[in-house]
Amino acid sequence: MMKFEGKTAVVTGGSRGIGRAVCLELAAGGANVVLCYAGNEAAAQETVQAVEALGTKALAVRCDVSDAVQVDALVKSAVEVFGRIDILVNNAGITRDNLLMRMSEADFDAVVAANLKGAFLCMKAASRLMLKQRYGRIVNLSSVVGLRGNAGQVNYAASKAGVIGMTKSLAKELASRGVTVNAVAPGFIETDMTAALSEAARSAAQGSIPMGRLGGPEDVARAVGFLASDDAAYVTGQVLAVDGGMAM
Ligand code: NAP
């Protein structure tokens, strides 16, 4: 039997980057996948096709994770189509970088809303079902920046450190009910999010990685797949760094 056979996964921000790789990792293990995206319909449909090519079913739902009404509709669609939610991966995220003195209140609010409140809303909506099922796996995307901080990312660091606090708190709330809650903290991963950085910033980042290379989305997806699987049944409230040794 495949690792995720008969399971349904909801992956936020599954249209691109790490989220897309997570959709494929879970689908390769046999999961049906509901992915949400902010606005990039073409990328979302491409992920749907890539998942279906692996032999499972996929559904793309446009949903801003910072909006409670849209999140409830996302969860409702997943249940209508697949009957249950076994795995939730809170991956949707944005950056709006600037030094504190130049950071607008709007940029602070937007990042916290998408990265932190979005995970809160999705966990609230999905954990209701998971409690009834007495089974669930929640994996949240934090960041090395949430562990170590980074100049120019006060908003992003706050959101990603918040994700860790939220992960540990909910892990304690749900531990006795068959639901695990863990986080992964990626380092520097090659996606659209990091593509905008200058060559100088990239090589500086590379120099700070003991393994000497940037990560790929699949590096993160495999760690998420582990935490979402029954191999990690006795693991909860943990933060797994996937960063080539960056945060040691
Ligand atoms: P990405 O390539 O920029 O993709 C972001 C994804 O999130 C897209 O699918 C996007 O949808 C979706 N999204 C953004 N805002 C959303 C919202 N409000 N509601 C729903 N979906 C939303 O990002 P990535 O690099 O793969 O990062 C994925 C996660 O890993 C993020 O949480 C990020 O903070 C974290 N992370 C990344 C790195 C890295 O180096 N890349 C390192 C540490 C942590 P559209 O396609 O529709 O825009």
Ligand 1, atom nearest to 189 Cα: 40
Q: What does pTM read for this prediction?
A: 0.99
Per residue in 18-77, pLDDT tens?
999 999 999 999 999 999 999 999 999 999 999 999 999 999 999 999 999 999 999 999
Residue 155: name the closest of 205, 94, 239 by CA: 94
Q: What is the pLDDT of residue 200?
A: 87
Say whether 191 sits in a helix, a strand or coil: coil
Written as one letter, the residue type at 12 is T
State pLDDT tens for residues 182-233: 999 999 999 999 998 888 888 888 999 999 999 999 999 999 999 999 999 9
For ligand 1, whether the C-beta of 186 sits within 6 Å is yes
Work out the pLDDT band at 121, boundaries 50, 70, 90.
Answer: very high
Angle at 36 between CA 35 and CA 40, to 5 degrees: 115
Closest ligand 1 atom to residue 15 Cα is: 9
By alpha-carbon position, which residue is closest to atom 19 of ligand 1? 64
Cα(47)–Cα(183) distance, rounded to whole angstroms? 23
